[in-house]
Amino acid sequence: MIRSSDILLNVRLCYYGVAISHLVFAVIMIIPIDMSQDEDPRVSIYSRVRWKLITCWFNLMMLTYFPIAFYCDLKEKHGEWDTKRLRRLRKFRDYFMTSIIFPTTMYADISFWTLWMKDPELIAPMAVFKYLPYWAQHSLHTVSGIVVLMDILLLPRRRPTNMIPGLALMLAFCSVYGCVLAVSQFTGEPVYSLFELFGWLEVIMFVAITITVYMFFHFLQWYIVELIWGKTYEENNKNTTEKKNLIDKAK
């Protein structure tokens, strides 16, 4: 783990504060919206279905992630860097972002806007969107992508020597969410209108494309990390080795 400078810590603390405030505002404004009384049954079920939307999942996950990240940075700023609890929190924070939140958010945001530009009814009945404030889609599907990308850019990380645990966690999340979609589909409450058009061949293609896109974003983030922080990590590692050698010689 690469330690951050005071300036970078201050930037991240401000950024996390803004991100948390945005998410809290979105929750306060959007969650109370009630569609259950709508005359159209395809719309009224969204009072239940919305909790199964991937948008809901990754935004609520970010609402968990950012307070943890803020706490870790605040402790680091006050000199509490290497305690056992903070090491565990940082490890959880990094796995949570890189294995689940980043690939999920980028996949969901790009998928949403691709379908929206083609035909919004592939996502949900148009009447559903009339319940949402005009800024909601950008708040949930544009700001979210920018926010997670900023986290990858601002938080020093290094690519793990073993990618398997991160990939396994990512695929486990995909499997759990896939089960939620399947159960909802079989109980007559398709989470997305697009699924009503799917046969078995389309389902297989959808799963294959989803896993491919997830893998792409998973490896892309580590390429970005290496590009930004790889040299810094090498210099820190070199300095640490040199200091250790000097101490050994002094002995």
20 located within any domain: yes
Please give the angle made by the CA atoms of 26, 154 and 58, to the nearest 5 degrees: 35
What per-residue confidence (pLDDT) applies to 150?
A: 96
What per-residue confidence (pLDDT) applies to 232?
A: 64
What per-residue confidence (pLDDT) applies to 169?
A: 96
4 dihedral zone (left: phi>0; alpha: psi -120 to 50; beta): beta
Residue 93 · residue 65 · CB < 8 Å: yes
Mean residue pLDDT of the chain comes to 89
Which residue carries 């399947």 as its tokens?
Answer: 182
**The amino acid at 141:** H
pLDDT tier at 227 (50, 70, 90 boundaries)?
very high
Identify the sign of the CA torsion 122, 203, 108, 26: positive
At residue 244, does pLDDT exceed 70? no
92 located within any domain: yes
What per-residue confidence (pLDDT) applies to 1?
A: 61
Separation CA 186–CA 198 (nearest Å) = 13
Residue 185 · residue 146 · CB < 8 Å: no
What per-residue confidence (pLDDT) applies to 230?
A: 81
What count of other Cβ atoms lies within 10 Å of the Cβ of residue 116? 14
On the 0-12 / 13-18 / 19+ scale of CB atoms within 10 A, 192 is buried
CB crowding 233-249: b at 16 or more within 10 Å, else e: beebeeeeeeeeeeeee
Read off the tokens for 27.
């929750």
At residue 144, does pLDDT exceed 60? yes
12 located within any domain: yes
Separation CA 66–CA 80 (nearest Å) = 19
Report which of residues 244 and 124 the model is more confident about: 124
Report pLDDT digits (tens) over 112-132.
999 999 999 999 999 999 998
148 located within any domain: yes
* Angle, helix 54-77 to helix 102-118, in steps of 10 degrees: 140
Q: Which of 61, 32, 57, 58 is nearest to 47 (CA)?
A: 32
94 located within any domain: yes
For residue 17, what is the enclosing H or E element? helix 6-30
1 located within any domain: no
Percent of the chain with pLDDT over 70: 91
What per-residue confidence (pLDDT) applies to 30?
A: 92
pLDDT tier at 82 (50, 70, 90 boundaries)?
confident
161 located within any domain: yes
State which residues form the domain around 169: 6-250
110 located within any domain: yes
In the chain, how many domains are there? 1
Separation CA 160–CA 98 (nearest Å) = 11
